[in-house]
Amino acid sequence: MKILGIESSCDDTSAAVVCDSSIIEERILSNIISSQIDIHKEYGGVVPEYAARNHMYSIEECINKALNKANININDIDAIAATSGPGLIGGLLVGTVTAKTIAIMANKPFIAINHLEGHLLTARLCNRIDFPFLLILASGGHFIFAEILDINQYNILGQTIDDSAGECLDKVAKMLGLPYPGGPAIEKLSEQGDSNRFKFPMPLLRRKGCDVSFSGLKTAARLLIEKLEEKDKADMAASFQMAIIKAIINKAKKAVDMCIQNINSIVLAGGVAANKLLRLNVEQLAYDNKVKFYAPPITLCSDNAAMIAWAAIERIHKYGYYSSPITQITRPRWNIDNIM
Ligand X SMILES: Nc1ncnc2c1ncn2[C@@H]1O[C@H](COP(=O)(O)OP(=O)(O)OP(=O)(O)O)[C@@H](O)[C@H]1O
270 is an interface residue for ligand X by CB under 6 A: yes
274 is an interface residue for ligand X by CB under 6 A: yes
271 is an interface residue for ligand X by CB under 6 A: yes
Q: Find the binder of ligand X among 5, 91, 182, 203 (CB under 6 A).
A: 182
303 is an interface residue for Mg ion by CB under 5 A: yes
Nearer to ligand X, 165 or 220 (CB): 165
36 is an interface residue for Mg ion by CB under 5 A: no
Mark the segment that binds ligand X (CB under 6 A) among 16-24, 65-73, 135-143, 316-324. Answer: 135-143
Nearer to ligand X, 70 or 336 (CB): 336
Mark the segment that binds ligand X (CB under 6 A) among 16-24, 121-129, 163-171, 192-200. Answer: 163-171
8 is an interface residue for Mg ion by CB under 5 A: no
140 is an interface residue for ligand X by CB under 6 A: yes
Give CA separation, 100 vs 14, 97, 114, in Å.
16, 5, 15
Least CB distance to Mg ion at residue 104 (A): 27
Please, is 22 exposed, middle or buried when counting C-beta atoms within 10 Å of its C-beta (0-12, 13-18, 19+)? Answer: exposed
183 is an interface residue for ligand X by CB under 6 A: yes
117 is an interface residue for Mg ion by CB under 5 A: no
Backbone φ and ψ of 52, nearest 5°:
-60, -45
11 is an interface residue for Mg ion by CB under 5 A: no
**At CA 273, angle to CA 185 and CA 60, rounded to 5?**
80
Burial 31-59 (b: 16+ CB within 10 A, else e): bbbbbbeeebeeebbbbbebbbbbbbebb
189 is an interface residue for ligand X by CB under 6 A: no
Least CB distance to ligand X at residue 108 (A): 26
**Strand 153-159 relative to strand 292-294, pairing:** unpaired
**At CA 15, angle to CA 104 and CA 271, rounded to 5?**
130
169 binds, among Mg ion, ligand X, none (CB under 5 to 8 A by kind): ligand X
85 is an interface residue for ligand X by CB under 6 A: no
Q: Find the binder of Mg ion among 8, 13, 31, 139 (CB under 5 A).
A: 139
Mark the segment that binds ligand X (CB under 6 A) among 179-187, 210-218, 306-314, 325-333. Answer: 179-187
193 is an interface residue for ligand X by CB under 6 A: no
87 is an interface residue for ligand X by CB under 6 A: yes
275 is an interface residue for ligand X by CB under 6 A: yes
Q: With CA atoms as reference, report the closest residue to 253 among 157, 328, 325, 173.
A: 157
Residues that bind ligand X (CB under 6 A): 9-10, 86-87, 115, 119, 139-142, 166, 169-170, 181-184, 187, 270-272, 274-275, 302-303
Residues that bind Mg ion (CB under 5 A): 139, 303
